[in-house]
Each structure stands twice: as C-alpha cells, then as structure tokens.
Amino acid sequence: MVLRPRRSLSETLLKEGAIGEALERELGHLRTGPFDEDAFPSRLHDERLASLLGIALGVCFMTCFATGLVSHFAQDPWEIGILSMPAAPAWLYRVTQGLHVATGIAAIPLLLVKLWVVYPKFFTWPPVRDPAHALARLSLVPLVAGSIFQLFSGLLNTARWYPWEFAFTATHYWTSWIVMGALLVHIGAQLSIVRRNVGRTGKARSAAVSPEPPGDGLSRRGLLTATAAAVGAVTLTTVGQTVRPLKGLAVLAPRLPDSGPQGVPVNKSAVGARVTDLIRDPAYRLTVGGRVQRELSFTLEELRALPQHEADLAITCVEGWSSGARWSGVRVRDLLDRAGASPDAEVLVTSMQPRGAYRQSELNVPHARHADTLLALRLNGEELHPDHGFPCRLIAPNRPGVQQTKWVTSLEVL
Amino acid sequence: MIARRLLSVTGAAMIVFGLVGLLRHADETAPGSWVVFFLGGLVAHDALLAPAVMLLGLLIGRAVPRRIRPVVQGTLLVAGALLVIAIPVLTGNGRLGNNPSILPQDYWEGLLTALGVLALAGVMLLARALRHPAAPAPPEPPPLPTARPGW
C-alpha cells in the first residue's frame, strides 16, 4: 500500500490558503510567552472596553481632523470664494484651534489606554490566519503608528520641540489623511464588534448590562473612570493656555495667556525676526500700493494722526494658545479707500522681516473690509512692544496668529 | 456589509491621498525623517512602553493588597498620563533666549504640584476603600492545561 506523502508547508500555503492552520500545525509547539492563551490575565482586555474607548477616540479624531482642516484652509486657502475664511464670527478660529489642541491632548490618555486594552491581540495565535486577516493586521500599522505620530508630533509642536527634519504643519496635515483613512478602514472592520457590545437595543442590551467579568483590581467601570480622570487631568493642566479663567490650573501649559510683553504671548520676537534695527529706522514708511488710484506713504507720525479705532481681538496661535487684548490703530479699509482701491480687492501685507515663511500674509475681501481689521499702533493702551510688531502690525478677526503680520511696511492691493 | 465596504474604500483612498501628498511635498515632509518618527513611535510603544506597563501591572498584582489595588491602579494611570504630556515641556527644548513667553513656567514644579494633588485624592480614595471590608477572593482559576509535546 502506498501512502500519500504528507503535504509540505509550502504546498499547504499554496493549495489551501489556510495559512493559519498550516502555521498552527508546523509551529504550534512554539506557542509560548505572550502568545500563550492566558498570557494576559487581566479582565480588562475586553471587547466592550475596546469598543467604548474606540468610540471616544473616534470622536476625538474626527474633531481634530475637522478643526485641523479649518486651520489648514485658513492658512492655505483654496482659490474658491466660498472656501476662504470668513471674518465673522471673530471667535471662530480661536474656538476651533483651541478645540483642536485640547482634543489632541485629551486623546493621548485615551489612545494609550485603548492600546493597552487591545495589546494582547498583537500576540494573536496563529499570527496570520489567511490573506484577509493579514491585510487587516497590516492596516493597523498606519492606524496605530499614525495615531501615535499625530498626537505626539502635535504635542511636541505645542512645546516647540522639533527633533525631526520635516516641516511640522505640512507633515501633520498629510499624515492626518493617512490616519483618518486607516481609521475608517478600522471602523468598517470593527463595526460588528462595536454593535454587539455597545448600545441599548436588541442583542446589544444584554452585552451592555452584562456583569463585570470576575477578577481582581480595577473593574471595567473603574478603568473607564480612571481614564476619564486622566483626560480631565491633562485637560485641566493645559487648557488654561486658551481658556483664561482656567489659567491658574495650567501648570503644564506651554504658554500662559498673560505671560509676555504687555501681557500677551509672542511667537516670533523682534530679535528672532532680525528686525530690531529696521523698526527704529527714522526713514520708516508704510506704503499702500499695487492696484490703487494713488499710491500712499505714511510716516509713523502720520499714521498716528489718522482716525484711530479700537478692537477687542485675540491673537490665536495654531499651537493652541490664545490671548485677547485691546488693540487700537488705523482701519485697513480706511487706508484702502484713501488710496482708491476697489472694494472687492484682496491685499498682500508685507513685513520688514527680511525672511521667514510668515513675513507676508493675504487679506481676503471679508477681512480687508471688516471694521475691526486694523493696522494696530497700540496694545492695551500702550505703544506696541517691538515683539508685538512696532511700529505697526496687522490685527484682524478670525485669523491664525501667523497671519497677523507684524512690523508691517507695505499693503499691496492685488 | 455595504457600510464596511464603503468605509474601506473611502479609507483606502484617503490613505493613498495622504501618502501621495507626503511624497509630492517631499521638500517639506522629509520622508526619510518622517518614516523614522512614524514607525519609531509604533516601536517605542509596542516594544518598550506597553511591555513596561504590563510588567508594572504584574508587579502591582503581586505586591498590592487586593482591597486597595483598584485605587492604586487608577491613580497610577492618571499620574502616567500627566507624566507623558509633561515630557515635552519638562525637557525645555523649545525655550528661546529672545522669547521668554515660550515655556514661561517651572514645569517640574507644575508636575510635582499636579502629582501632589493627585496623590491627595488617591489617599482619600484609599481611606474610603479601607473602610469597606475586603471582597471575598475570587475562586481559583482552573489549572493550566498540560504542556504541549515538543518542548
């Protein structure tokens, strides 16, 4: 009698596609350590916990993505009118960007706890069951790596620590598409697990009210409570950088809303921008040119003699801090009208700063025509500090701080 | 099933869009450096942080009495979160001589204050836990299966 020879591993892989079975048969005896069934004894490595934390993280990531897109398009507008930043409400960008950073910080403990809950799945046995399983596991790389990358590169950016070679904003933006894409794939793959563990209807109900699994230490509810406390703790110790009433608690905030020259923080100082000599030059002129009927030029004294207006506006930084202040100076639209510029003209504002990505900014029509858009000469009743843009700076409602150009020397009508 | 397919296709398209964007703007995104930090974070978590936390959990399971274990675990979780988000400001790498409004605080003092408040809350919860009698020990787990042949 002739026996059929036992199939080799490669034959099995090729013929059946059941990679998992083959691995188990050939390598099953190697299963040990973290791959063992009871390697992770805690009752908290649990589907319901993973689902609830996943939902919370999903909400955080969607919030970060939406507010991040607002910030991206505020700084890099599409050439479509409807998608350029409105000038009102003045507080909009302050809220969206404050939310962006606060939500990102809050997501850090959520992400770490969620990864801890599902960590045993990293040691699933057999490591790969079939091609679909392999693909599903592989798709977790952009999700997990991307989530860690986004949250921590953002956190480091708020502290202005750049250990990498890439430009933060562009990289953070493009990576966000990868993470959100991987998140959608992940939601699709895990939808059935979430459905059977969360919710108040039908089958889900039994899971939702199911008793705590037996065991020691923190319960499921206890872990969720502790995670909520961690989210609260990291939020309370940082959010005062934009929510001024909570400033006293912001012991870990990289900025304080009243810490800086004249009580307002600064991103680029006069020394850092290399303008200390230029701004003291007696030959300083502010020019209004471009597509105008008559070109104008003002000395600082002449600017001071023009009608002055006040505006309560916040400097809002992309890094998540903001600080409201009272500014006074000349309305940009008054200058444009004097020069005879068209009322639907956009304006390029240029700084004395010799170089740097933010030495120029554009005013779209709503911003250029807004009554609160000023070339400010004074801040909280005092002449501008050099770090705040002496002799004059742009300040406009609902605009990222990097676009509130300082040390302004020319307005060019486009 | 339709929802799953729709999410997968949209997600895959977004991943491709992001990757293409990264590569097209390589002068800004420095893909070499990006890969190092992208995968570096994953490795740092999966190979260092997570095993360390698992080991810590094991130690707590051995060393801390059952009655107060939940309080200890919960307090350490919050402390860990505070520590993680404090690291970038603690290093002070972002400080600039010409701009004192960046990182204006003493962050060691801030972190210790926050941890102190947390410890106080932990002690109060501990006192409450100790007032309650210990719950009965859970039953012994079933014995482990016999070792597989082959070892």
Decide: helix, strand or coil at residue A251.
coil
The shortest C-alpha distance from A263 to chain B (Å) reads 10
What pLDDT is recorded for position A204?
53
**Burial class (CB within 10 angstroms; exposed 0-12, middle 13-18, buried 19+) of A305:** exposed
Asked if A379 is an interface residue toward chain B (Cβ–Cβ < 8 A), one would say: no
Token pair in block for residue A369: 């025509």
What is the identity of the amino acid at A18? A
**C-alpha span between A374 and A322 (Å, rounded):** 18
Identify the DSSP state of B137. P
Answer whether B37 sits within 8 Å of A149, measured CB to CB. yes
Residue in chain B closest to A225 (alpha carbons) equals B74
In whole angstroms, give the CA distance from residue A89 to residue A94.
10
CB contacts, 8 Å: A122 with chain B: 46
- A393 phi-psi bin (left φ>0, alpha ψ -120 to 50, beta other): beta
Angle, in degrees to the nearest 10, between helices A92-118 and B69-91: 130
| Contact state of A181 with B37 under an 8 Å Cβ cutoff | no
Q: Do A185 and B66 touch (CB under 8 A)?
A: no
CB contact under 8 A, A29 and B148: yes
- Sign of torsion, CA A92 A109 A43 A224? negative
Q: Measured between alpha carbons, how far is B151 from B145 in angstroms, rounded to an integer?
A: 14
CA dihedral A58, A61, A67, A73 (to 10 degrees): -120
A33 at B interface, C-beta within 8 A: no
The CA distance from B147 to B76, in Å, is 36
- What gap in Å lies between CA A178 and CA A139, rounded to an integer? 11
Tokens for A332, please give them. Answer: 């940009």
> Which among B70, B21, B128, B64 has a CA at the least distance from the CA of A174?
B21
Beta strands in A251-354 (DSSP E): 286-290, 296-298, 309-316, 322-331, 347-351
Distance (Å, rounded) from C-alpha A273 to C-alpha A276? 8
pTM: 0.91
What's the one-letter identity of residue A200? R
Q: Are the CB atoms for A306 and A334 separated by under 8 Å?
A: yes
Coil, strand or helix at A328: strand
What string of DSSP letters covers B39-90? Answer: HHHHHIIIIIIHHHHHHHHHHHHHHS-GGGHHHHHHHHHHHHHHHHHHHHHH
Give, as one character, the DSSP assignment of residue A28.
Answer: G
Q: Which residues contact A302 (CB under 8 A, 6 or more apart)?
A: none
Contacts of A52 (CB under 8 A, 6+ apart): A197, A198, A224
- Nearest chain A residue to B121 by CA distance is A229
Start-to-end Cα distance in chain B: 44
Cα A143-A146-A149 angle, rounded to 5 deg: 150
Choose among B13, B32, B101: nearest Cβ to A181: B13
What region, left, alpha or beta, does residue B121 occupy, with left being phi > 0 and alpha being psi -120 to 50 degrees?
A: alpha
Which of A31, A181, A256 comes nearest B104 by C-beta? A256
Residues in Cβ contact with A94 at an 8 Å cutoff, skipping those fewer than 6 apart: A242, A314, A316, A322, A398
Residue of chain B whose alpha carbon sits nearest to that of A276: B98
Question: What whole-number distance in Å separates Cα of residue B56 and Cα of residue B49?
Answer: 10
Nearest alpha carbon to residue A351 among A294, A270, A246 = A270
For Cα atoms A83, A151, A182, give the angle at the middle one, nearest 5 degrees.
70
Contact residues for A130 (Cβ-Cβ < 8 A; gap 6+): A17, A18, A19, A20
Q: Which two tokens mark A308?
A: 């002055």
pLDDT < 50 positions in chain B: 151
In this complex, is the C-beta atom of A384 within 8 Å of any C-beta atom belonging to chain B? no
The Cβ of residue B63 has, within 10 Å, a number of other Cβ atoms equal to: 9
Q: Which residues of chain A have pLDDT under 50?
A: 202
Pick the closest to residue A341 from A292, A382, A303 (CA basis): A292
In this complex, is the C-beta atom of A323 within 8 Å of any C-beta atom belonging to chain B?
no
Among A113, A41, A225, CA closest to B71: A225
Q: Going from the N-terminus, what domains does chain A have, and what CATH number goes with each? A: 40-210+217-249 (no CATH), 263-413 (3.90.420.10)
Which residues of chain A are within 8 Å of residue B89 when distances are taken between CB atoms? 159, 252, 254
